[in-house]
Chains A and B, each alone.
Chain A
Amino acid sequence: MAQIFPKWVDEAPKRILIGSIILLNAIVFGIWYFFSPEFTDVGYMPEQPVPFSHQVHVSQLGMDCQYCHTQVEESRHANIPATQTCMNCHSQIQTDAETLQPVRDSWETGEPIEWVRVHMLPDYAYFNHAAHVNVGVGCESCHGRVDRMEVVHQAEPLSMGWCLDCHREPEKHVRPVSEVTTMGYSVENQLEIGRELVAKHNINAPTYCQSCHY
């Protein structure tokens, strides 16, 4: 009786089996990596109505974060400054800069400037700035080197796993409260200092669900 299949078919079953196993794993790990905030969100850099440069204001002019984000120590929000705050200086300097037109408009009309939100947590995740900055979690730790950002972008994944990394081992990340707004803070004996700080502020970063989700 004539052969129905060519010879190579003998190998097929084995290959199909192995191939599918590899494929399956590839899919799982592909999703795990490419669909996670670390890949999708980091680097999000939307265009802002006013080309405000943190680089200029922080590095060159050496302004402190809290000059504008005034309520970060008392509120859950690190507030976006009111137009007033901008006008404190820009009523004197660069009063006719083209790029500042929206600010002046806002000041005259009272219409707020529509900033585009960069760091977006899901609505079911509660985050409180005050709770963090008051125990020595630096701005930098979550927002990156803002002082080097011409346009602000998202520097960290802000994913749950990422939060937990720090909540599980705060000593690796905390710094003296006085250093919170420092950019580029680093010490050799971080662990040592970290442990002291953790003890000092008796930091017990919660890892249970409803410390963030409710």
Chain B
Amino acid sequence: MSDQSNQTTFWKSLNELAKNKEYEKYAEREFPENATEMTDQVSRRSFLRVMGASIALAGFASCRKPVQKILPYTKQPEDLVLGEPNFYATSMPFQDTVTGLLVENNEGRPTKLEGNDQHPASGGRTNIYNQAGILNLYDPDRSRSPRRNGESASKNDFVQFASEHFSDRNRNILFVSEANSSPTYNRVKENALQTFSNANWVTFEPFNDDNAIEGTNIAFGQRLRTVNHFDTADVVVSLNDDFMSPFGHKNSVENAYKLTSRRKVNNTDDSMSRIYSVENSFTSTGSYADHRLRLKTSEIEPFTYALASRLSESVSGLGAFNNVSNNFTNHEWVDKLAEDLLSNQGNSIVSLGFDHSSVAHAAVAAINSALNNAGNTVTYHEIPYYGEQHQTEAFLEAIEEIKAGVYDTVVLIGTNPAYSAPSDLDFEAALGNVDTKIHLSDYYDETSRIADWHLNRAHFLEAWGDGLSYTGQRSVIQPQILPLYDGLSEIEFLNTIVSGEESVGYDLVQETWSSYFSSNFNQNWETVLHDGVDPNSGFNSVSVSLRSGFASDIRPNLNAEPISGMEITIKPDATLFDGRFANNGWLQELPEPMTKITWDNVALMSPSTAESLGLPPEQSFKSNDVPTVRISAGDATIEIAAWVLPGHADNSITLTAGYGRNNLGRVADGVGVDVYPLRTSEAMFNQPASVERTGSVYEIACVQDHNNIEGRDMVREATLEEYRENPDFATYKSIHGYEVPGIKEAKAEGDDRGPISLFEEQYGPDYQPQWGMAIDLNACFGCGVCTIACQAENNIPVIGKREVGRRRIMHWIRTDRYFEGDRDNPKVYHQPVPCMHCEMAPCEQVCPVAATTHSEDGMNQMTYNRCIGTRYCANNCPFKVRRFNFFNYTKEYLTTGDDPEIIQMAMNPDVTVRFRGVIEKCSYCVQRVNSAKIKSKIATGSKKPEDGAVQTACQQACPANAITFGDLTDQNSVVSQHKQNDRNYVMLEEMNVRPRTSYLAKLRNTNSELA
């Protein structure tokens, strides 16, 4: 390779100073959190570093400069220009869906994942899991070799074993697989089932959409996938369905960009869809909704039936629900929702959270078909690979069979039941009855430990594969790099078992796809590889009608009673999902959208519930210590920190899974509490529980200590009506009643750029573009993908729980979350805050060494290598967007693992990694800006790239299209348009710092009768 990784070599050479010593140290560490290194005592490492340094000095004494080598190719690859990244299409599998991605590939080294705009499930956008996928690839803790009974073995050993073991075709084999939509995988699966006559195949996902699919079976007599077309709906009713969040819905990206596309308001004539949310915990979707009602989880279904019953009075097809009566029959919301739904028949959507019972899903399906939404805003699709049975039930039965000793071999693919299976199954013990247990997984995890064979799995960027999007578009997964640890893809693994010989993923995938293209395969194949998706594919949508006998079947199940006392609800975690992302530092350190907690899971409860448990109704501002509670359900008990979330339903506690791992990896181990023990096959989702305070406390690292907006005008909001009456509602004048001080004087002097100022104004020369950003608060729902995208693009280190707890988070773009109003039913605002790139930046005035100054193209530039670290700029930044390297974070981060080079490969070669003692902050992705300018300069001679040629990482990732960025000197650029929008405003206008980043005020399309 040539000297491509300019920016990283520096660090490599630093590591080399004391590398061997670093090895020992990291090997010893159980908890990788960098903070543990930074105890306030002289740690052993410091001592080693002294040694390291002295060695280095000895080295430097001899030569003037460390010698750098350049290693050119022996044969220059055709399509590769050194220093110019290539982009390839691929897709990321998640459960049984895939999201189309474009991979930025620097000299054979994937460094960044972006959305693929030709792919329906992505639309060019991504979610946090997609963005963080790249870090999983370079995770030094991924399992690196197959293991036989815990002893490391070779791939060949396994192939040999497989060929012998599976040569007996009559074995009683149980395949337990994660959900997987891959046509090739399912083709090989069919082979397997034919080859092994006594084989059984079950799918296990701790969180899945089985109930939703079963629901359609009850309602329509077919197992169908429900697809909500939010871009066509005027009224959306979400019943405890967090469909915008990646952990709430597996098609979150498409949902988010389609829903928000109906919420873009450019002028008073534009309309918006209206969103109602009825939910237990406070979710992103709930905070985005125009109206929100908090109910206990166990009250959601009765509420649904009450709603159905009310609708049945006006529309046919809901006879089953006639005069069903429960506590909600006369609930105000039932009336109002019914009215609004009825007046929007055919263009409304009622959606229910996956985890709710199949009966409830059947009810919702019936409602949608009765409202004539089915076929319009809601469509139902056949899923070819989905079996004839409720998958989780099938899994439960299979476990019973294992206990009965039916199987001699169990093959577990991807899934990790030993960790996540319902606790009452006692999966571990059950597996004891099986002679041969084979497990394929990314990590050497809980299940691997009890398996006879562990196979290390290839990351999706390492192996060929394919998959279907939520709506069934066939997509290819093409590898970007050879397997770092020589892992097997699930396809290769499964085929090895069937064929008894090592298999090549590429051939298997091509074999599958050859059947899709009747003629000229190669050309079509090339096209698909290029686009990443086969556009003329997708699940067949079926027109549905209620099954006869639906009424009689469902009627008896409609009198479900809410849980009277305290209930708990177990959900996948916002950042770790079911635990599969537990060893991903970016996700661990990403603040949870509503609580802003990092590195932990907590028991969420309402303020009143907290008080009733004798806990303070809000977190302390001064201390990170949070009281813990003891939660007992069934015969399991856990102790976990109690966190007050205003707007959460009373007498209800929400827990998230995925934490409390041991020996999984340096990042995951010892973080948070495992809540799976509370989860039984009877109560997978929601159950009564007894809760008491323990009296002890636990330290939580939360990035936002003050949640009240204090009546300040950082976030500006109006209802759609108010906006139409007064389009200027967001201006300083209409909020404060008077113009910004100094504006009149400025106008008098013929300066319309802003208030009068003492300072020289800095505007660049005409040949330069002037960059600016606008963030639409009406689109943002606080998912935090911008933060991860930024972290991936700009080499931002992970600093660990303790440092975050000390409020030293390094994220360049954060999402502020404010609660306002009544603590039981607060309004929530999400506000992404990058650097404002003020035209008259206060930080620039005070830096003694001119390390932060203004660029000709109107950016507030931070020159790391000039910074001496007085932190004066950070103090003087009214938006507090500047971050300081209190320790050598990047080095700590880049030397995690036994061979630091691996994680270093994740670094973006275009961005300097920052060293200790310097300030850093959002740069408007200057590396992208500059390369675009250079290209434009070479091509056209102008330094102004065309609009859209530069996208910042946050903008590109945002599923809600909330962020626009571009050249303000171009009146037609999208960002200029946005800045001319009535709702455009800047924070702290009266400070006259003239931020280049502005906001579009939030709108809520409220129902006047409910307000």
Contact = CB atoms under 8 A, between A and B. Distances in A.
Contacts of B72: 79-83, 112-113, 115
A110 interface: yes
B452 interface: no
A77 interface: yes
Contact of B923 (A46, A77, A122, A210): A210
B322 to A, nearest CB: 67
A14 interface: no
Contact of A84 (B76, B81, B861, B863): B76
Contacts of A204: 765, 767-768, 943
A124 B7 CA distance: 7
A182 to B, nearest CB: 20
A77 B64 contact: no
A75 B10 contact: no
Contacts of A185: none
Interface string A105-135: 0110011111111001011111010110011
- In this complex, the member of A111, A120, A201 whose beta carbon has the largest number of chain B beta carbons within 10 angstroms is A120
Given A80-B72, A82-B74, A214-B911, A130 B67 contact: no
Q: Is the interface of B mostly helix, strand, loop or mixed?
A: loop
A40 B934 CA distance: 31
B923 A214 contact: yes
Contacts of B768: 204
Nearest to B63: A46
Given A114-B69, A117-B68, A213 B82 contact: no
A75 B74 contact: no
Contact of B71 (A112, A125, A128, A213): A112
A188 B4 CA distance: 39
Contacts of A75: 81-84
A130 B65 contact: no
Interface in B890-945: 910-912, 923, 926-927, 930, 934, 937-938, 941-943
Question: Could you say which interface size class chain B belongs to?
Answer: 35 or more
B856 A206 contact: yes
A157 to B, nearest CB: 14
B75 interface: yes
A101 B566 CA distance: 80
A204 B587 CA distance: 43
A76 B930 CA distance: 12
Contacts of B218: none
Contacts of A79: 2, 72, 76, 82
B3 interface: yes
Interface residues of A, number: 48
A79 B942 CA distance: 26
Given A77-B2, A106-B74, A204-B765, A210 B861 contact: yes
A71 interface: yes
B855 interface: yes
Given A124-B864, A214-B911, A116 B67 contact: yes
Contact of B68 (A41, A120, A209): A120
Contacts of A82: 72-76
A77 B912 contact: no
Given A123-B10, A130-B938, A214-B912, A116 B74 contact: no
Given A77-B4, A114-B71, A210-B923, A71 B81 contact: yes
A192 interface: no
A81 B865 CA distance: 31
A202 interface: yes
A178 B768 CA distance: 27
Contacts of A135: 937
Nearest to A207: B856
Nearest to B850: A209
A208 interface: yes
Contacts of A122: 10, 865
A36 interface: no
Contact of A124 (B71, B74, B912, B941): B912
B76 A46 contact: no
Contacts of B854: 208
A74 interface: yes
A123 B912 contact: yes
Given A76-B83, A80-B2, A209-B866, A214 B927 contact: yes
A107 B74 contact: yes
A211 interface: yes
B767 A80 contact: no
Nearest to A110: B74
B69 A115 contact: yes
Nearest to B11: A123
Interface in B841-885: 853-856, 859, 861-866
B971 interface: no
Contacts, number: 143
Contact of A209 (B4, B861, B927, B943): B861
Contacts of B54: none
B149 interface: no
B9 interface: yes
Nearest to A200: B941
A90 to B, nearest CB: 13
Contact of B863 (A113, A123, A210): A210
A70 B72 CA distance: 13
Contacts of A46: 67
A70 B943 CA distance: 25
Contacts of B855: 208-211
A113 B912 contact: no
B763 to A, nearest CB: 13
B70 A80 contact: yes
Nearest to B73: A82
Given A115-B72, A209-B853, A213-B865, A123 B83 contact: no
Contacts of B69: 114-117
A114 B1 CA distance: 10
B694 interface: no
Contacts of B927: 126, 214
A210 B73 CA distance: 31
Contacts of B911: 214
B6 interface: yes
A204 B76 CA distance: 34
B64 to A, nearest CB: 6
Nearest to A133: B938
Contacts of A85: 76
Interface string A61-87: 000000000110011110111111100
Contacts of B866: 209, 213
B614 to A, nearest CB: 53
Contacts of B9: 123
A77 to B, nearest CB: 5
Nearest to B765: A204
A10 to B, nearest CB: 43
- In this complex, the member of A83, A114, A214 whose beta carbon has the largest number of chain B beta carbons within 10 angstroms is A214
B861 A111 contact: no
A112 B767 contact: no
A82 B72 CA distance: 5
Q: Can you list the 4 inter-chain pairs with the closest CB atoms, starting with the nearest?
A: A123-B10, A210-B861, A112-B71, A117-B68
Interface of A: 40-41, 44, 46, 70-71, 74-77, 79-85, 106-107, 110-117, 120, 122-126, 128, 130-131, 134-135, 201-202, 204, 206, 208-211, 213-214
Given A113-B72, A206-B856, A208-B856, 19 more contacts: A41-B65, A71-B82, A76-B83, A77-B4, A82-B73, A82-B74, A84-B74, A117-B69, A122-B865, A124-B864, A134-B937, A204-B767, A208-B855, A209-B861, A209-B863, A210-B926, A210-B930, A213-B863, A214-B912
Interface of B: 1-4, 6-10, 64-65, 67-76, 81-84, 765, 767-768, 853-856, 859, 861-866, 910-912, 923, 926-927, 930, 934, 937-938, 941-943
20 contacts: A71-B82, A79-B76, A79-B82, A82-B75, A83-B73, A84-B74, A84-B76, A106-B74, A111-B74, A115-B72, A116-B68, A116-B70, A117-B70, A122-B10, A126-B930, A134-B938, A209-B855, A213-B865, A213-B912, A214-B911
